[in-house]
Amino acid sequence: MSEPSVGKGIDRVDARLKVTGKATYAAEVAVANVAHGVIVCSGATSGKLASIDVKDAMRTRGVLAVITHENAPKLAKPSKQNTPQDKILQLLQDDVIHYADQPIALVIAESLEAAQYAASLVTASYAGGGTLLSDLAATPKGDAYAPKKAGPSGEAATVRGNVELGLAAAGVTKIEATYSTPVENHHPMEMHATIAVWQGNDRLTVYDATQGIFGVRKRLATIFGLDPEKVRVINHFVGGGFGSKGSPWSHVGLAALGAKMIGRPVKVMVTRQQMTSLVGHRPKTIQAITLAADKLGRLTAIRHAVTSETSRFDEFVEPAAVQTRMLYSCPNVETSHHLVRLDIPTPTFQRAPGESTGTYALESAMDELAYALNLDPLELRIRNHAATDEQEKKPFSSKSLLQCYQQASAKFGWARRTPKPRSMRRGNLLVGQGMATCTYPARQSPSSAIATIAADGTALVRAGTQDIGTGTYTIMTQIAADALTLPVERVKFELGDSEFPETPVSGGSQTASSTGSAVKLACLELRKHFAAIAIDDPASPLHGLTLDAIDAADGALIAKAKPSLRDPFVDILRRAGKTELAADHKTIPSEEQKKFSIHSFGAAFVELTVDEDLGLVRITRIVSAYAAGKILNPKTARSQFYGGIIWAIGMALHEETVRDTRTARAVTRDLADYHVPVHADMPDIDVIMVDEVDTHVNEIGAKGIGEIGITGAGAAIANAVFHATGARIRDLPIRLDKVLAPGRA
């Protein structure tokens, strides 16, 4: 009997396509007679478009159309949002300006070069506009308001116990601090792009760089008044999205609008500069945290108040306090979220939205409390380990955080650390070591798949999900191979087409748990179909058995009581006169799951050096341990953990979108100015995957891993900087000017 594939670190099944350049991304799809669209963006930040002059653009050779609010057809429901995650789009339906670089025209030409040149000739004038607000930190406190919800689900504010009593208890040590995280942009390697092709007036095919093909289908159907079944969205590969491609943006609708107006396919590709305005960003946060603990280091009170930015015309909440509700044991906890409306584009999800920014603040505050108590930061966390989710009053489905602490700290050598700041040196460099807790929820959404076995014994499994670079093609192939008891080489998994069974967005670290469960159950359902045929077939060795008496192994059905009685899938099909047999399945989260709090956990330990003369911070090594249920493929999983940790390095030390306060326009508009970590910045990264069995989380026992790597690690870096220098830097990113600046301790 062949060994299971799940749990093995096999190579990516799509690796050869990617390394040879044969993987086709949205902008690369060969579509006949395609025209090129270029978006013209607003030069004003607010007010109205007083006039727009397109005459010179229209006279440019090769230009087919210039669409503005003056000639764009009125759409059915341009601002209708199908889900809370959908954003209000700007589709040239009026003259109102909401933010700098808002789309005000779409130039369509025979070539990209002609469209770009003609777009440069469009001029506009503006009127009106009030007082400009572009900086969260500079707005009056009275401008903040409380939203109804924080995150995909959950209350914006929570209270348990009495924080004031917890703060006033005898003998407690209290710390109060405010932490801030900057605006960040996603900047995936693949920029956003859409090719729209109309078949007649009521059928639309779109090739879109998206993390959610079904969300795009529903949104375009709503905008253009179409039956969703008449909108087809295709996307076989995504070159990174990190949340920005989680919902459709204006360029998607504009591509379809342009294609409809000129009667031929149109491709619209967002420029690197437009990535800072047209496809969302991580909002700036200001987080006030108060912690109190008794003499033994047991938390008596936590208060976590988050203020973040949103646009004037839409709403997005960065739910940075949600993990604070459950991460540590504490009888008195208050969390809250507030928003301030600014003259900016609408923010959106960015890798581990909420938990990445929130764990930076909470875990930095925990480090400050540890020093105030003269207690080891790891020991403080162990003493406040939460055995249950005290906010939800539920047990955890599984929790191996203590094992993460133990394994990562041992591998790191934490016990050899001297606790006093500025006490460790390497030559003329200060050495700092810091740690933090990591966490991210394990989600599952309804999902579907279909599995087919052909007469030659090969299997084809389909689900309309997306591979955003995480290895979805590979792990789904492994899951299907095991469920069908076939070698991986005999299984093909296809995705990225809205005509396939519906799946959720590839975001929130839920693809493996949602679609992986659907794939497994569809394959098991297919085995039942084969068994039913065999049971009724007098020529089958399994004739007359019950379904419960039949198992599968090596591409055949077998009798559980007598495994020598076997009937290969190919023989069952041949005798039945069938060329193939298929089965589908739709999964939904079980009622059992509602009884548990379901999260992944981890621990990050960081060592770095600081040149105190130059303020340069260099991370030398990171050791992290994660407990995330069943690891489906250790090779692709390790890459996911690495990716999250590298994002944390960027968040802590490099990334910041800077706005011109006079215009609210981003001035860090490309990768020359928006700094991200590169190969030269990479330390030695050691990832430990802690064995964890979770029988409650889903049908495959796996928790999401795409985002947990960024949580906690940013705080661990900041805590290591403090240990090295004695300077507590509470606003990210930690750059040399802040390390050198006085008054930071």
Active-site residues, by number, are: 707
**SS3 of 22, please?**
coil
Burial of 122 (0-12, 13-18, 19+ CB in 10 A): buried
Helix, strand, coil distribution of the chain in percent, nearest 5: 30, 25, 45
Burial of 256 (0-12, 13-18, 19+ CB in 10 A): buried
Burial of 451 (0-12, 13-18, 19+ CB in 10 A): buried
The pair of three-digit structure tokens given for residue 253, joined into one six-digit string: 């609708």
Nearest to 700 by CA among 6, 5, 1: 6
Whole-number Å distance between alpha carbons of 577 and 567: 15
DSSP strand pairing (158-160 vs 123-127): unpaired
Per the listing, tokens 């906890």 go with 333
- Give yes or no for a contact between 362 and 303, defined as CB atoms under 8 angstroms apart: no
CB proximity list for 505: less than 8 A, separation 6 or greater = 85, 211, 212, 214, 215, 246, 247, 466
Whole-number Å distance between alpha carbons of 666 and 562: 70
Angle formed by the axes of helices 355-373 and 634-653, to 10°? Answer: 70
Whole-number Å distance between alpha carbons of 693 and 701: 7
Nearest to 441 by CA among 322, 336, 592, 315: 322
Burial of 89 (0-12, 13-18, 19+ CB in 10 A): buried
- Give yes or no for a contact between 712 and 359, defined as CB atoms under 8 angstroms apart: yes
208: left (phi over 0), alpha (psi -120 to 50) or beta: beta
Sheet arrangement for strand 231-234: 63-67, 103-109, 35-41, 266-269, 193-198, 204-208, 231-234
**SS3 of 653, please?**
helix
Per the listing, tokens 């599952």 go with 444
